[in-house]
Chains A and B, each alone.
Chain A
Amino acid sequence: QSVLTQPPSASGTPGQRVTISCSGSSSNIGSNTVSWYQQLPGTAPKLLIYSNNQRPSGVPDRFSGSKSGTSASLAISGLQSEDEADYYCATWDDSLNGRGVFGGGTRLTVL
């Protein structure tokens, strides 16, 4: 059972906009910034969003992040077939002397 709750799956057609949610609590998302990662099959995760809504250089502006209270969201606009992957949210949790926590992951299917 992950500390951060994500829907296990999401889907969309090419060109659509999809959002993936990440729900936490006051000790994690409510107190710290959120990062998002994309993981293609058989590869290491890739940083997509950090500090809630910042994109590293090289990440297309189709990807955007937001945070409100104890929840965060990743939005992907203009969906493309290569966006089919697993997506994870991550943040720090101030309980138990501090620890990193990930969401359970969301598998995005491009129909």
Chain B
Amino acid sequence: QVQLVQSGAAVKKPGASVKVSCKASGYTFTGHFIHWVRQAPGQGLEWMGWINPNSGGTVYARRFESRVTMTRDTSITTAYMELSRLRSDDTAVYYCAREVRCSTCYTTFDYWGQGTLVTVPS
């Protein structure tokens, strides 16, 4: 069965970086884009960007593109999201999600990771 398993919670100091992993299994890793979505405490969902595991190509949300790097390692079917220059308002649960393969399904995510809480104390 399809699974996305993320790395554990992290506490980081302001100005530091965090790298969250997303281990995929149960499907062809290179066949589906992986998106990253975050959710601050008590807030809504925020799209951060996607990576094409086949080519390594990425698209980032404008507000993150100077601080985020999405990568993948196809040998271990794992995607990564690294966010740098952390601030207290980056405190959130970070999710990876698999995009459905269809020509119009850019924000259709059928499987999600369990979420990774990243805390940046102020």
- The interface of chain A, by Cβ under 8 A from chain B, is 2, 32-33, 35, 37, 39, 44-47, 50-51, 56, 88, 90-92, 96-105
Contact = CB atoms under 8 A, between A and B. Distances in A.
A104 B44 contact: yes
A46 B47 CA distance: 15
Interface in B63-112: 95, 97, 100, 102, 104-110, 112
Contacts of A92: 106-107
Given A32-B106, A44-B115, A90-B107, A50 B45 contact: no
Interface residues of B, number: 25
Contacts of A47: 100, 108-110
Contacts, number: 74
Nearest to B35: A100
Interface of B: 35, 37, 44-47, 50, 59, 61-62, 95, 97, 100, 102, 104-110, 112-115
A16 to B, nearest CB: 25
Contacts of B100: 47, 50
A59 to B, nearest CB: 11
A44 B106 contact: no
A82 to B, nearest CB: 19
A88 B44 contact: yes
